[in-house]
Structure 1
Amino acid sequence: MKLFGLAGWSGSGKTTLLVQLIPELTGRGYRVSTLKHAHHDFDVDQPGKDSHRHRVAGASEVLVASSRRWALMHELRDSPEPTLADLVAKLSPVDLVLVEGFKRDPLPKLEIWRAENGKAPLFPDDPTIVALAADDVLPQDPPAGLRRFPLGAVADIATFILGHVGLPPHAS
Structure 2
Amino acid sequence: MTEQPVFGITGWKNSGKTRLVTRLVAEFTRRGFKVSTVKHAHHNFDIDKKETDSYRHREAGAVEVALVSGNRWALMHELRGEDEPGLDDILARIAPCDLVLIEGYKREGHPKIEARRTASTNSEPLAPKDPAIIAIAADHPVADTGLPVFDLDDIGAMADFIAATVELKEPDSVG
Q: The TM-score by the shorter chain falls in which range?
A: over 0.9
Which segments of structure 1 move beyond 3 Å, counting only runs of 4 or more?
A: none
Cα distance in 2 between the residues matched to 1:59 and 1:133 = 42
The answer to whether structure 1 residue 10 and structure 2 residue 47 are counterparts is no
Query: In the alignment, what sits opposite 1:107?
Result: 110
User: Hey, what does 2:97 align to over in structure 1?
Assistant: 94
Q: 8 Å contact 1:110–1:133 — kept in the other structure?
A: yes
In the alignment, which residue of structure 1 is the partner of 2:171?
171
Unaligned 5+ segments in structure 1 are: none
Instruction: Give the secondary-structure state (helix, strand or coil) at the position aligned to 1:47.
Output: coil
- The Cα of 1:171 is off from its aligned counterpart by 2.6
Structure 2 SS opposite 1:52: helix
1:61 aligns with 2:64: yes
What is aligned with 1:136?
140
Distance (whole Å) between structure 1 residues aligned to residue 171 and residue 134 of structure 2: 23
Q: Secondary structure at the match of 2:119?
A: helix
Distance 1:11 1:47 in 2: 29
CA contact (8 A) 2:14 2:119 kept: no
Query: Which residue in the other structure is 1:39 paired with?
Result: 42
Alpha-carbon distance in structure 2 between the residues aligned to 1:13 and 1:116: 9
RMSD between superposed Cα atoms in Å: 1.2
Whole-angstrom distance in 1 between the partners of 2:96 and 2:32:
15
Identity fraction in percent:
49
> In the alignment, is residue 76 of structure 1 matched against residue 67 of structure 2?
no
* Contact 1:7-1:109 within 8 A present in 2 as well: yes
Instruction: Tell me how far apart the structure 2 counterparts of residues 40 and 12 of structure 1 sit (CA, whole Å).
Output: 17
Question: Number of paired residues?
Answer: 168
Distance in 2 of aligned mates of 1:41 and 1:12: 20
Question: In structure 2, what residue type is equivalent to 1:50?
Answer: D
Give the drift of 1:15.
0.6
Shift of 1:5: 0.3
| Residues 63-99 of structure 1 deviation map (CA, whole Å, 9 limit, x = unaligned) | 1000000000000111111000000000100010000
Matched residue type, 2:105: F
Q: 1:20 is matched with which residue?
A: 23
Helix, strand or coil for the counterpart of 2:93?
A: coil
Q: Match of 1:157?
A: 158
